[in-house]
């Protein structure tokens, strides 16, 4: 082949250009730490990386959702534990009441149970970041509300108590008295959430279901598993006087016809009252509490407690499920990051070696080119 000087020059320019280009690419790779700058450098690999990056972002979202959910469920767990403890305490207080019927002892128990009622209402109104956890979907509405006896109708308006007469000549006394109650303002929905693709977990415990037999605002009934009604019942039975007050007052001061004058109630164990004026058949305040009623309520309290425990267990096992899911998400994240790194991150040792090699090639190329462009033709040899 006939070689011309121009061909030589062109070639050496081309070689220097290519060599420098390679060096530049290697330097970019080393500086960015990435194997590819553009998808077109390796479409298949980059497409894989894109998919994996997308999975990683979704996984991070799931982790975030799991964390938030965990907070909520931990709040729920805390509330349920406290309520369960309170019920346990109420149970032992009820047993105490059964053992020691003295008025003084009962007064203390009644006061404590009253406190427990207040506390379980407060716990059942637990919030997570401003949202009520037991209210179903109605997270902005206070789910449980204490309603004093008789103040709301018909909810918790009254209950009927029959006092057997000891005198066969007199009929049994049947009285209505207003009871306190706790109403439920939530709905019956349960919040659920995706914690990984297609896996849904129950997040909330429905308060109505757990504490007030679904509907709330009930008065005590052995067929209704209402925690509040049961606790209120126990308190009222132990504080026997309270539901007798209206009866006593109406019998003493009201002249039929006319409604019982609740507001002027006088305690029937008031020492100032003339015992002779008391109607026959009234329970003796010095006598122990009505055991049958209290035992009935105690059994009910145990059943109610079981429901709460069951909800607590359910929530607890779901929490563990959540932790497993979180662990799995963390493992997956690490694995994906490893794969992505293998796909797109450069091996620095290798790049360093390649750059060294390429630098050598470039140096050789320029020194050869220098010699080519140096004057080398017959003209220079002519004298």
Whose Cβ is closer to other proteins: residue 53's or residue 119's? 53
Judged by beta carbon, residue 304 or residue 340, the one nearer other proteins is 340
For residue 37, the minimal CB distance to other proteins (Å) is 8
List of residues 6+ apart from 186 with CB closer than 8 A: 132, 134, 135, 136, 137, 138, 141, 143, 206, 207, 208
What's the closest the beta carbon of residue 314 comes to other proteins, in angstroms?
A: 19
Q: Which two tokens stand for residue 296?
A: 């009935």
What is the chain's alpha carbon radius of gyration, rounded to the nearest angstrom? 42
CA atoms within 13 A on the CB side of 204: 24
Nearer to other proteins (CB atom), residue 5 or residue 342: 5
Cβ nearer to other proteins, comparing 223 with 382: 382
Q: In the bound complex, what is the minimum distance in angstroms from residue 143's beta carbon to other proteins?
A: 11
Closest listed residue to residue 252, CA positions, set 267, 238, 242, 239: 267
Q: How far is the CB of 347 from other proteins (least distance, A)?
A: 20
Shortest Cβ distance from residue 219 to other proteins (Å)?
20
What minimum distance in Å lies between the beta carbon of 323 and other proteins? 17
Give whole-number Cα distances, 196 to 60, 74, 85, 332, in Å. Answer: 10, 20, 34, 11
Taken as a whole, the chain contains a residue count of 383
Q: In the complex, what is the shortest distance from the CB of residue 223 to other proteins, in angstroms, rounded to a whole number?
A: 20
Q: By C-beta, is 130 or 275 nearer to other proteins?
A: 130
CB nearer to other proteins: pick between 138 and 254: 138
The helix/strand/coil state of 146 is strand
Nearer Cβ to other proteins, position 14 or 350? Answer: 14
Q: At what angle do helices 103-124 and 43-99 cross, to 10 degrees?
A: 170
Is the CB of 7 or the CB of 280 nearer to other proteins?
Answer: 7
Alpha helices (runs of H) in 345-373, residue ranges in sequence order? 348-373
What are the residue ranges of helices labelled H in the chain? 5-32, 43-99, 103-124, 207-211, 227-238, 240-253, 291-344, 348-373, 378-381
| Shortest CB 265 distance to other proteins, Å | 36
Q: With left for phi above 0 and alpha for psi between -120 and 50, is residue 217 left, alpha or beta?
A: left
Binding site for other proteins (CB under 8 A): 1-7, 10-11, 14, 36, 38-41, 43-44, 46-47, 49-51, 53-54, 57-58, 60-62, 64-65, 68-69, 72, 129-131, 135-140, 187, 189, 191-194, 197-198, 377-379, 382
DSSP secondary-structure letter at 200?
A: E
């Amino acid at each position: 082949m006939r070689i011309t000087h121009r061909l030589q020059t062109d070639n050496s320019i081309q070689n220097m250009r290519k060599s420098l280009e390679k060096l530049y690419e290697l330097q970019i790779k080393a500086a960015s730490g990435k194997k590819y700058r553009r998808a077109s450098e390796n479409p298949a690999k980059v497409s894989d990386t894109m998919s994996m990056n997308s999975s990683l972002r979704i996984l991070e979202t799931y982790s975030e959702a799991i964390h938030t959910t965990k907070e909520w469920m931990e709040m729920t767990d805390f509330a349920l534990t406290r309520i369960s403890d309170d019920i346990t305490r109420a149970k032992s207080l009820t047993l105490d009441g059964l053992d020691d019927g003295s008025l003084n002892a009962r007064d203390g128990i009644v006061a404590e149970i009253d406190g427990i009622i207040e506390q379980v209402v407060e716990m059942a109104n637990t919030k997570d970041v401003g949202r009520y956890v037991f209210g179903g979907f109605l997270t902005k509405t206070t789910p449980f509300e204490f309603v004093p006896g008789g103040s709301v109708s018909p909810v918790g308006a009254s209950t009927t108590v029959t006092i057997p007469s000891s005198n066969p000549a007199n009929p049994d006394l049947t009285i209505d008295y207003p009871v306190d109650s706790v109403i439920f303002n939530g709905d019956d929905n349960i919040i659920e959430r995706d914690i990984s693709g297609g896996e849904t977990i129950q997040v909330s415990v429905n308060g109505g279901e757990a504490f007030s037999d679904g509907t709330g605002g009930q008065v005590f009934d052995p067929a209704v598993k209402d925690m509040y009604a049961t606790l209120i019942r126990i308190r009222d039975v132990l504080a026997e006087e309270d539901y007798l007050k209206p009866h006593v007052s109406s019998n003493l001061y009201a002249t039929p016809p006319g409604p019982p004058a609740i507001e002027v109630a006088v305690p029937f164990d008031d020492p100032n009252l003339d015992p002779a004026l008391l109607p026959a058949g009234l329970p003796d305040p010095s006598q122990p509490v009505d055991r049958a009623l209290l035992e009935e309520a105690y059994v009910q309290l145990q059943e109610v407690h079981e429901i709460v425990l069951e909800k607590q267990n359910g929530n607890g096992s779901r929490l563990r499920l959540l932790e497993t899911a979180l662990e799995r998400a963390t493992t997956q994240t690490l694995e994906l990051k490893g794969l992505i790194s293998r796909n797109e991150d450069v091996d620095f040792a290798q790049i360093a070696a390649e750059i060294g090699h390429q630098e050598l090639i470039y140096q050789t190329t320029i020194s050869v080119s220098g010699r080519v462009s140096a004057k080398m033709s017959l003209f220079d040899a002519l004298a």
